[in-house]
Amino acid sequence: MIPIKPAGQGGPIEPRNPATAALQYLQPGALNLSALPPLSLYIHWPWCVRKCPYCDFNSHEAKGELPEQAYLDALRLDLEQSLPLIWGRKIHTVFIGGGTPSLMSAAGLDRLLSDLRTLLPLDLDAEITMEANPGTFEAERFKSYRESGINRLSIGIQSFNGGHLEALGRIHDGGEALRAVEIAKSTFDNFNLDLMYALPRQTLEEARRDLETALAFQPPHLSLYHLTMEPNTVFAKYPPPLPDDDTSADMQDMIAELTADAGYGHYEVSAYAQPGRRARHNLNYWQFGDYLGIGAGAHSKLSFPHRILRQARYKQPASFMDAARRGNAVQEEHEIGRADLGFEFMLNALRLTEGFDPNLFGERTGMSISTITKALNEAEAKGLLYRDHKLIRPTELGQRFLNDLQEMFLAA
Cα dist from 116 to 86, 103, 405, whole Å: 14, 19, 39
Q: What is the pLDDT of residues 152-176, one digit of tens each?
A: 999 999 999 999 999 888 888 899 9
Place 29 in a pLDDT band, splitting at 50, 70 and 90: low
Edge-to-edge strand ranges of the sheet holding 290-294: 265-268, 271-273, 221-226, 191-197, 152-158, 122-132, 91-98, 39-45, 290-294, 299-304, 307-313, 330-335
Q: What is the pLDDT of residue 16?
A: 31
CA-based nearest residue to 103, from 50, 26, 25, 165: 50
Domains of the chain as residue ranges with CATH: 39-283 (3.20.20.70), 338-412 (1.10.10.920)
Cis peptide before 149 (omega within 30 of 0): no
Q: What are phi and psi of 154, to 5 degrees?
A: -120, 115
Which pLDDT tens digit goes with each residue over 83-128?
A: 999 999 999 999 999 999 999 999 999 999 999 999 999 999 999 9
- Widest Cα–Cα separation across the chain: 67
Cα dihedral 202, 204, 205, 207 in deg (nearest 10): 60
Those residues with Cβ within 8 angstroms of residue 89's Cβ, 6 or more apart along the chain or in another chain: 2, 36, 39, 121, 290
Q: What is the reported pLDDT for 127?
A: 98
Task: Please give the Cα distance from 130 to 121 (Å, whole number).
Answer: 19
* Residue 199: predicted pLDDT: 95
Instruction: Give pTM, 2 decimals.
Output: 0.90
